[in-house]
């Protein structure tokens, strides 16, 4: 080998040795930094397991039920609630059901659907002023009803709702108690936004409060009973259970909420001259909440139609509902 080539090779070999020395020093320094000193004894930090994974974040709870999140919109339906309308169909699938007084001290129901939509629901009846004030609580929900007088219809047209007027009839039942709808089909064909918080909180943990296995509330001239057994409340109207007219499914609830509201005439009346009633859900008042066979008392408050409806205990802390279905009685 020529002297020139030998010199090149020697220089290259020296470079390798130097680099190797630098690399080894770095490894040693890295190993030293991974050592944890406990007292006077140095121990090696355990290497993370190759199968170790970080915990997945908790899933968000649904704002209307507190259960598994649903990406469906919200549709409310006005359901008739007199003897001639029974048995109702599809009521047991409602996530939230409001009981309201109407003219003649009768009652009607506002059934709110979000997690599931029945293929058959009814009988559907006409809208009232109470609906117009209440329903913007849900953002801009769909609102299924069979009609309204001109005054109420004008309010609906201006309200934060999507009017869905239906008059499809089941001829096996007597009119006017025979308007039925396919709510699942309506949900697929109606452009609705996703549900957002309505101000309610939920918890699986049973609260304190006092024991209360039975609940009774009077709305108008009707009495609603809720009997607690096997973790849920069976719903009764004037002593009769709500049983689905198609499936015989018994309507049950996980929560019963009784709101003390202010009832007032809304300026309308029926064909017999009976004054129509508006139950105000904007304002504040006493509330009694029943869940897990327990009773909790506090206050409800809602500052405007677009504001949430909050339930708080005597110390001002939120009262948590049990995840599931809720019945709300607007008791004037």
Count of residues making up the chain: 332
pLDDT at 1 over 70: no
Q: What is the pLDDT of residue 270?
A: 80
**Which helix (H) or strand (E) segment is 12 a member of?**
helix 3-33
Buried b / exposed e over 118-150, threshold 16 CB at 10 Å, is: bebbbbbbbbbbbbbbbbbbbbbbbbbbbbbee
- At 35-73, the pLDDT tens digits run 333 333 333 334 434 333 333 445 689 999 999 999 999
Per residue in 153-176, pLDDT tens? 999 999 999 999 999 999 999 999
pTM given for the model: 0.82
Higher-confidence position of 298 and 55: 298
Query: What is the domain partition of the chain in residue ranges?
Result: 75-331
- CATH architecture, domain defined by 75-331: 3-Layer(bba) Sandwich (3.50)
Per DSSP, what are the bridge partners of residue 233?
228, 253
Question: CA–CA separation, 38 vs 277, rounded Å?
Answer: 76
How would DSSP label each residue in 165-188? E---B-TTS-TTS-B-B-HHHHHH
CA pseudo-torsion sign 267, 271, 272, 276: negative
What's the number of CA atoms in the CB half-sphere (13 Å) around residue 197?
A: 9
């Amino acid at each position: 080998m020529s002297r020139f080539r030998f010199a090149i090779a020697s220089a290259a070999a020296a470079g390798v040795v130097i680099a190797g020395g630098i690399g080894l020093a770095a490894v040693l320094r890295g190993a030293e930094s991974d050592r944890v000193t406990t007292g006077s004894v140095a121990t090696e930090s355990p290497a993370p397991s190759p199968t170790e994974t970080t915990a997945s974040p908790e899933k968000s709870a649904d704002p209307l039920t507190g259960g598994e999140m649903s990406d469906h919109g919200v549709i409310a339906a006005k359901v008739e609630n007199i003897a001639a309308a029974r048995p109702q169909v599809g009521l047991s699938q409602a996530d939230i059901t409001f009981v309201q007084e109407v003219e003649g001290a009768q009652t009607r129901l506002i059934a709110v659907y979000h997690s599931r939509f029945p293929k058959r629901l009814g009988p559907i009846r006409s809208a009232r002023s109470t609906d117009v004030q209440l329903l913007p609580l849900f953002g801009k929900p769909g609102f299924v009803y069979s009609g309204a007088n001109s005054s109420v219809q004008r309010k609906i047209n201006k309200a934060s709702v999507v009017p869905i007027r239906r008059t499809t009839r089941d001829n096996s039942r007597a009119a006017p108690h025979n308007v039925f709808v396919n709510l699942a089909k309506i949900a697929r064909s109606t452009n609705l936004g996703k549900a957002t918080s309505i101000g309610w909180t939920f918890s699986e943990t049973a609260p304190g409060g006092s024991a209360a296995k039975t609940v009774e509330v009077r709305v108008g001239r009707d009495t609603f009973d809720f009997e607690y057994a096997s973790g849920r409340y069976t719903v009764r109207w004037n002593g009769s259970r709500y049983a689905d007219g198609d499936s015989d499914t018994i309507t049950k609830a996980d929560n019963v909420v009784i709101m003390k509201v202010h009832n007032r005439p809304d300026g309308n009346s029926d064909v017999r001259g009976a004054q129509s009633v508006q139950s105000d859900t904007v304002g504040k008042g006493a509330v009694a909440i029943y869940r897990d066979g327990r009773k909790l008392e506090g206050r409800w408050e809602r500052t405007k139609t677009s504001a949430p409806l909050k339930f708080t205990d005597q110390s001002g802390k939120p009262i948590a509902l049990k995840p599931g279905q809720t019945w709300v009685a607007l008791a004037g």
